[in-house]
Amino acid sequence: MKLLVFGRSGQVATELQRLGGVTVEALGRADADLTNPEACAARISGTDADAVINAAAYTAVDRAEEDEATAALINVEAPRAMARAAAARGLPFVHISTDYVFDGGGDAPFAPDHRPAPIGAYGRTKLAGEDAVRAAGGVYAIFRTSWVVSAHGNNFVKTMLRLGAERDRLTIVADQIGGPTPAAAIAAACASAARQLADDWEKTGTYHFSGAPDVSWADFARVIFDKAGLTCEVADIPSTDYPTPAMRPLNSRLDNAGTVSTFGIQRPDWRSGLRDILKELGASKP
């Protein structure tokens, strides 16, 4: 199977290019600028790929509060154009979304059919992007995920490794709970879904894919430090002690049951993924 992937250097796009068993054409900004939706659609119209995966997005959560127009162009209008072009060609379209479409209330995992209620600009644009993909009328799978980590780009694991080596103590929020998700697992899930959608269009829909077990940021940091052999102490703080321009969901738990039953894709164990990430970074405990 050949996959046309929007994104080249991002965490999931990088892992898609490392997958075996598929041919990947990855498009960076120079190949398909997401601020030019028509150009993105044109790449799909002329592709010989068997499926399309959108692994690119405007993910600067705080900056989106001040520049929602750009976030909307990339997170709404580009996916709209992509999904329409894929539908016109009869190509499966896999789109990555986020837990930020929910308000983070309660402590139960959010099911795919739970009513969205984003609390910030980033979540609003990602939700509108989902709606645009659904409205295109093609074959699609939307995967909402959370807390993406890998050995590439900027993410919590790499930040903790850097700060943990520099400091003896860190204060980290403990009231935000979610499932850290290895980018490699997301890439594999997207490729599997694309392959299955090509054979069974009735699998079209919205799904959740996040790592297990659910954990707080503070406890996640503790595991990172332990596995990396760092002695940095973690002190729990509430989110109110770490204000940011954009509010973060307190509850990022996602119900993955539909992904398991429809695609046979299990929740990835982030502890296993973390071991692989630390090994790749040369940061594993001796």
Residue of 58, 122, 140, 207 marked catalytic: 122
Per-residue model confidence (pLDDT) at position 159: 97
For the chain, the domain total comes to: 1
Q: Domain residues for 260? A: 2-155+181-211+254-270
Residue 248 in domain: no
What is the percent of the chain with per-residue pLDDT over 90, rounded to a whole number? 99
What is the percent of the chain with per-residue pLDDT over 70, rounded to a whole number? 100
Residue 242 in domain: no
Residue 189 in domain: yes
**Paired tokens of 165:** 């080596």
Q: What is the CATH number of the domain that holds 201?
A: 3.40.50.720
Per-residue model confidence (pLDDT) at position 286: 66
Q: Is the pTM of this model over 0.95?
A: yes
Residue 205 in domain: yes
Considering the chain, what is the average pLDDT of its residues? 97
Q: Is 122 a catalytic residue?
A: yes
Is residue 48 predicted with pLDDT exceeding 90? yes
Residue 89 in domain: yes
The tens digit of pLDDT for each residue in 75-110 reads 999 999 999 999 999 999 999 999 999 999 999 999
Of 209, 11, 7, nearest to 98 by C-alpha is 209
* DSSP assignment of 29-75: TTT--TT-HHHHHHHHHT---SEEEE------HHHHTT-HHHHHIII
Residue 137 in domain: yes
Of 160, 148, 126, nearest to 13 by C-alpha is 148
